[in-house]
Amino acid sequence: MGDIRRAYLTAAESAVTLLHDPAVAAAWDRPSALTEFSVAGLAGHLAHQLVRVADALDSEATQEPVNLLDHYVMSPWVQAGLDHESNVGIRRAGEASAADGPAALAARTAELLERQRAVLPAEPADRIVHLASSGWSLRLDDFLLTRVMELVVHSDDLAASVGVDTPELPPSVIDPVVELLARLAVHRHGATAVIRTLSRAERAPATISAF
C-alpha cells in the first residue's frame, strides 16, 4: 500500500477519534470556529470526507484524470465567497451528514473507516476514480491527498471549535499536506509572496492563504 494511502487511513482514524470526543457532542449546537458552520455541520463535513472516498471507490472512471492543480483550479468553491452556491451546498451537506446526532455520525464514520482499511490496500496503483460532484476524474492517490488535506485542516477547525487540542499527526501525514497547501498558495499568490511570507516578516503580504 502506498504512502498516501497509509497517510489517509491515519488521518481518517484521527478524525474518527475526534468525532467520538465528548467535547464535540457537548458543543454540537454551537457556532464553530469556521464561519457559517455550526459544530454539528463542521463535524458532518469532516466525516463526509470518508463518504467522498467511499463514493470515489465505487465509481467507474471513463476519462483521463486531470492533474491535481487543475482539480483545484476548476473547483468553483476554491476562490468563491461564502454565499456562492458551491459553499452553501458544502455547509448544507455537512448539516445533513450530522442530522442523526454526534453518536450516530461518529459510529457511521468509524464503520466507513474499517471498510476502507480493508479495500484500499487492494486498489491498483494506477486506479483512477470519477468525481461525480466535479464531473472529472483523478488518480486515486491524488484524490486521497485532497482528502488528507481536508481531514487535517478540518480536524484543526473542529478541535478549536470545541476547546480541545488539535490532534497530533505524524510527518507522513502532515508533510504532504504542507506541500500541497504550499503549491496551491504559490499558484494563487505567486512564488515571491510565499517566499517573502516565509522569510521576511517585514515585507510579507497580508495573506498567502491557499484558499
Q: Give domain status of residue 157, yes or no.
A: yes
Please state the domain count of the chain. Answer: 1
Contact partners, residue 172, CB within 8 Å, separation at least 6: 3, 6, 7, 10
Q: Give domain status of residue 11, yes or no.
A: yes
What digits encode the pLDDT tens for the residues 104-119?
Answer: 999 999 999 999 999 9
Q: Give domain status of residue 35, yes or no.
A: yes
Q: Give domain status of residue 59, yes or no.
A: yes
Q: What is the mean pLDDT of residues 116-135?
A: 93
Contact partners, residue 168, CB within 8 Å, separation at least 6: none
Q: Give domain status of residue 185, yes or no.
A: no
Report how far apart, in Å, the C-alpha atoms of 87 and of each of 37, 83, 92, 94, 123 are.
11, 7, 9, 11, 31
Whether the Cβ atoms of residue 62 and residue 130 lie closer than 8 Å to each other: yes
Whether the Cβ atoms of residue 46 and residue 147 lie closer than 8 Å to each other: no
Q: Give domain status of residue 192, yes or no.
A: no
Q: Which domain holds residue 29?
A: 3-167
Whether the Cβ atoms of residue 158 and residue 23 lie closer than 8 Å to each other: no
Mean pLDDT of the chain: 92
Instruction: Specify the CATH number for the domain of residue 79.
Output: 1.20.120.450
> Which residue stretches of 33-139 are H helix?
39-57, 68-74, 85-97, 102-119
Quote the pTM value.
0.93
